[in-house]
Amino acid sequence: MVITAKGRATRQRIVEGTAVYLRGDEPGDVTLDDIRAITGTSKGQIFHYFPGGKEELLLAVARYEAELVLQDQQPHLGALTSRAAWGRWREAVVARYRAQGRHCPLGSLMAQVGGTPGASEVVTALLARWQEDLRLGIVAMREAGLVGDVDADRLAAAFIAGIQGGVQVLRSTGSTAHLEAVLDALLEGFGLAGPKIRS
Amino acid sequence: MVITAKGRATRQRIVEGTAVYLRGDEPGDVTLDDIRAITGTSKGQIFHYFPGGKEELLLAVARYEAELVLQDQQPHLGALTSRAAWGRWREAVVARYRAQGRHCPLGSLMAQVGGTPGASEVVTALLARWQEDLRLGIVAMREAGLVGDVDADRLAAAFIAGIQGGVQVLRSTGSTAHLEAVLDALLEGFGLAGPKIRS
DNA sequence: AGGATAGTGGACCGGACGGTCCAGACATCG
DNA sequence: CGATGTCTGGACCGTCCGGTCCACTATCCT
């Protein structure tokens, strides 16, 4: 089976259309008929491009969304070499999730596809890359003498956990307060930003 | 409709049986037939005690599980008045979630019932109580002069976010490393425990 | 005892939804 | 201009599952 340009375009339309739908207000569980309607395709096409069916399709969408998560934090995430840069990154993260609101595309994706093999790998891989970028930033700060001697990997892991939790609370409460609190607490606790928790 | 002792027992059996099932290895989505089989009941009984059907039942189970989350942290959570107490609490939290493993009962409950009215209120209420207990602990430490002048509510919120995220990462990776990292980072960053991140 | 009310069992229904299948349109190339 | 393979549409199927309904049984009260 050779995929032509037209075919690739259709496949892409399916993935992106599904992603857009999942970012919408009332997604709940997506059905193949939903996807068919949104993307202007047919069952035939869906199974043509995703022989594994719904599961394979949603996994593809999850990978697509995971990529966006990291992209949305650039260029800040890639150059965490000063206190100011950490501050801008913090703002970018909060802004991204505030804009996203209660609804987390990757979250509902995982809710639907969570148990299947390969599902948690997608998010694990995302978090690993994210954590590594943070770790590099912490190391850079340490080498520049801007912060003390910390376990960069563990601190990066703490940031990852904090962000995940902040976003999860956001999904329930609709407020970014927790996300901001944990980011500020970690930044401040380790000299990556000025005092906001301590008075 | 008056509920007799026998009725109450049956209702309780349904809730607890469902909770046990959800704590098991391969829950995925529960069906009413699953619940029927596990709890040795019939559809008639389920709808007798939960006229709202599956949704109402799962919400009841969620409330039941939420209660357990707080209970499992006692007596530590109620008396966070010394560095040692914070340390013991940290251990209790990590132990609880390590024992729970990849599987989070409340998590899969929310995955199934997430969109329905009242669902996020259950977890919001849980987190609010949790955060309040932490806040009281921080205030106690501050008043005892054991920590500096911090915004107790924001720091408590940071803990909540961190724990939630740590648990979520645990669900994907099976490791408590992130949970421990964020707890240690926050404890250490604000003088609630000795250095583990800084060296 | 006997009627009323609570509790129980399970057959049954209807809709939703993932997946199959095949016929026809379209493109590409000898 | 056929032939071969890709792309597209949608009818159709089987299953799963939440929910309804009703007959039957235990329990309680007077």
Q: Taking 80 as the threshold, does the pLDDT of residue B77 lie above it? A: yes
The strand pairing partners of A198, in sequence order, are B150
Q: In the complex, which nucleotide's C1' lies nearest to the CA atom of residue A33?
A: C17
pLDDT, residue A130, reads 98
> Residue B129: which pLDDT band, with cuts at 50, 70 and 90?
very high
Q: What pLDDT score was predicted for residue B151?
A: 97
CB proximity A175 to B under 8 Å: no
Q: What amino acid occupies position A159?
A: F
Distance B11 CA to D6 C1' (A): 58
As a rounded value in angstroms, the CA-to-C1' distance for B62 and C4 is: 35
Q: Is B198 exposed, middle or buried (0-12, 13-18, 19+ CB in 10 A)?
A: middle
Let me know: does B179 contact B169? Beta carbons within 8 Å: yes
* Nearest residue, CA→C1' of D16: B31
If you average pLDDT over residues B133-161, what whole number do you get?
Answer: 97
> Strand C: which positions are within 7 A of a protein CB?
5-12, 16-23, 27-28
Q: CA separation (Å) from A54 to A10, A20, A63, A94, B157?
A: 16, 16, 14, 32, 38
pLDDT confidence of residue B115: 80
Chain segment B84-122, per-residue pLDDT in tens: 999 999 999 999 999 999 989 999 899 888 888 889 999
**Could you give phi then psi for residue A178, rounded to 5 degrees?**
-65, -40
- Alpha helices by DSSP H, listed for chain B, are 5-23, 32-39, 43-49, 54-71, 83-100, 105-113, 119-143, 152-173, 177-189
DSSP structure class, residue A174: S
- pLDDT for residue B156: 98
The amino acid sitting at B1 is M
Domain boundaries, chain B: 5-189
CA(B27)–C1'(D14) in Å?
Answer: 24
pLDDT band of B30, cuts 50, 70, 90: very high
Q: Which residue of A has its CA nearest to B150?
A: A198
Residue with CA nearest D9 C1'? A42
Superfamily of chain region A55-189: Tetracycline Repressor, domain 2 (1.10.357.10)
For residue A119, give the amino acid letter: A
Q: Are the CB atoms for B31 and B21 separated by under 8 Å?
A: no
List bases in chain D with any atom under 7 Å of a protein Cβ: 5-12, 16-23, 27-28
What architecture (CATH level 2) is domain B5-189? Orthogonal Bundle (1.10)
CA B168 to chain centre: 12
Residues with CB under 7 A from strand D: A 1-4, 6-8, 10, 40-45, 47-48; B 4-6, 29-33, 43-44, 47, 53-55
Query: Tens digits of per-residue pLDDT, A36-79?
Result: 999 999 999 999 999 999 999 999 999 999 999 999 999 999 99
B24 touches chain A (CB under 8 A): no
Total residues belonging to chain A: 199
- Can you give the pLDDT at residue B149? 93
The pLDDT tens digits of the residues spanning A21-30 come to 999 877 789 9
Q: Is A192 on the interface with B (CB under 8 A)?
A: no
Residue B138's alpha-carbon distances to B128, B147, B156, in angstroms, are 15, 8, 8
Question: B157 and A182: CB-CB below 8 Å?
Answer: yes
Q: What is the pLDDT along chain A (199 residues), one digit of tens a residue?
A: 677 888 899 999 999 999 999 998 777 899 999 999 999 999 999 999 999 999 999 999 999 999 999 999 999 999 999 999 999 999 999 999 999 999 899 999 998 988 888 899 999 999 999 999 999 999 999 999 999 999 999 999 999 999 999 999 999 999 999 999 999 999 999 999 878 888 7
Mean pLDDT across chain B, nearest whole number? Answer: 94
According to the model, what pLDDT value does residue A28 have? Answer: 80
Residue A67 near residue A42 (C-beta atoms within 8 A): no
Q: What is the pLDDT of residues B36-69, one digit of tens each?
A: 999 999 999 999 999 999 999 999 999 999 999 9
B157/A172 touch (CB, cutoff 8 Å), yes or no: no
Who among A26, A115, A185 is closest to B189 (CB)?
A: A185
Say how far A59 CA is from C22 C1', in Å: 28
Q: What is the pLDDT of residue A199?
A: 75
Closest amino acid to nucleotide D19 (CA–C1'):
B53
Q: Which residue, counting CA atoms, is nearest to the C1' of nucleotide D17?
A: B31
Best of A102, A178, A186, A190 to disrupt the B interface by mutation (most B CBs within 10 Å)? Answer: A178
Query: Residues with Cβ < 8 Å from A4, sequence gap 6 or more?
Result: none
The token pair that represents B3 in the structure block: 């509920």
Per-residue pLDDT of B2-20, as tens digits, reads 778 898 999 999 999 999 9
Residue A184's closest chain B neighbor by CA? Answer: B158
